[in-house]
Amino acid sequence: MVGCTTMGKRNGLYNVIAARFYSRIAPPPPAYAQPVIRVTNNVAHLGSPKEGPKPRQLLSLPPFPGLPLPGKNLLGDPRRLTAISWVKYYFNDMSGENIESHFKKGLVYVECQSSCDSFEIKGLGKLVRKIKPHDAMEEGARIHVPVSIAESRISKRFDTIPSGTLYPNADEIDYLQRLVKFKDAALIVLNKPPKLPVQGNMPVHNSMDALAAAALSYDYDEGPKLVHRLDRESSGLILLGRTEESVSHLQWLFSNLNKAKSRCKAWNDACEATYQRYWALVIGSPKEKEGLICAPLSKVLLDDGKTERIILSGGSVFEPSQEAITEYRVLGPMINGCSWLELRPLTSWKHQLRVHCAEALGTPIVGDYKYGWFVHKRWRQMPRVDIEPTSGKPYKLRRPDGIDVQKGSVMSKVPLLHLHCRELVLPNIAKFMNVLNQRSESHHRPTTTSEPSDLLRFVGAMPNHMKISWNLMSSCLV
């Protein structure tokens, strides 16, 4: 909110007139249209013309990488993928009916160089055209869809893990088994909720590793073991290995060491295709819409070694540092002072994404009070009228009926951390296990449709507080 003060002189006295504006950008002048004749109850009268569909904020998908897609088995022509299949693949955790509805309404666009049916969307700065659901995707093509395509229903029941004990009870076992997204002979994939510690110490009994070891053994003698970690406040996909061999291979896969090549070419290709993608809501917006962050990290100890903090390394040869690289991409426009980012870490260090967002980009993650405390103090969460970038019209945040925005969302007094590991692609460990153990020199088996894929892909739904923030920030034009 910006204040403006003017002064005028009348009868020797100065009157102070204060004006309040809700945005630094002046709203566009209203467009007055000619009245039209309307008929109501067989009575003709002049009325305003019917408003057309209100423009929607657009969410940009990454460029189409080409075929084959990780974890995608194509039916029919293996060299062709339709636009609706690509959108459903990216939004694997969303409703297929909602995606089909957006295609039917003509709300899905693809960037193009020039064509007779292309047009430019204000604020996007690029020529686009409407794409049909069965149009073939070309490598490098970028699709833009409305933010509403990723809206989802919010459950009024918020799951909370029961208080932990040394030996998990039936409620805790049932709770953890409901988080399992995938299970095979080699690994288990969980969608971790926020506030659940991944690795505990003596006073923490309800940590992920302790509960998983006792509740997720299934038909194995021993429970699974953690392969990588997530912060206690963050959420998303996490891996657990079920055997010593799978744990060893997965830990090697997610390590930051220089990885030696195997004799199996298919395994090497699958390892190179491995990645994680996070979604984060940050305060502000980076200057560049996408880029690569190469900022080494260092660890400092505070409070006589009781706590530690990760900072950007100053580049001194006397200061130990770790090379940290993160790819980022802005998903859409800034709304109410916040924007959504897609993050892909190329290295795996503690608090890497949080430090890179807060210190390298200058846009701390919402709810990250450790690395963004001063920005949070200046940040105003209240809804304000602003200008929608794609239409130039004013909009404001909407409050869906029946939704409690105080459940850690962006509108709550104390938001939870908005960092979620949404997508995970990794080799099919169960398929390669025999190959890696045999260490044979060449493994060039012809692939058939009956063979499992070399890659596994998982998409985890956001927690409820991030779903509420997403729905709230799907702006409603005033």
Catalytic residues: 231
Q: How many CA atoms lie within 13 A of 238 on its CB side?
A: 28
Residue 268 makes CB contacts below 8 A (sequence gap 6+) with 261, 262
Percent helix / strand / coil, the chain, rounded to 5: 20, 25, 55
Tell me the two tokens of residue 61: 């998908």
Chain centroid offset of residue 380 CA:
23
> Hey, is 278 helix, strand or coil?
strand
Q: How many CA atoms lie within 13 A of 449 on its CB side?
A: 6
Angle at 455 between CA 449 and CA 456, to 5 degrees: 105
- DSSP secondary structure string for all residues of 372-410: SHHHHHH---S---EE-TTT--EEE----TT--TTTTST
For 63, which DSSP code?
A: P
Q: How far apart are CA 44 and CA 46, in angstroms?
A: 7
Q: How far apart are CA 223 and CA 220, in angstroms?
A: 7
> Hey, is 153 helix, strand or coil?
coil
Q: How far apart are CA 459 and CA 70, in angstroms?
A: 12
Q: What are residue 60's DSSP bridge partners?
A: 144
What is the 3 state secondary structure string of 188-228? EEEEECCCCCCCCCCCCCCCHHHHHHHHCCCCCCCCCEECC
Q: Are 208 and 229 in contact (CB under 8 A)?
A: no
Q: How far apart are CA 220 and CA 112, in angstroms?
A: 53
Q: Are 88 and 137 in contact (CB under 8 A)?
A: no
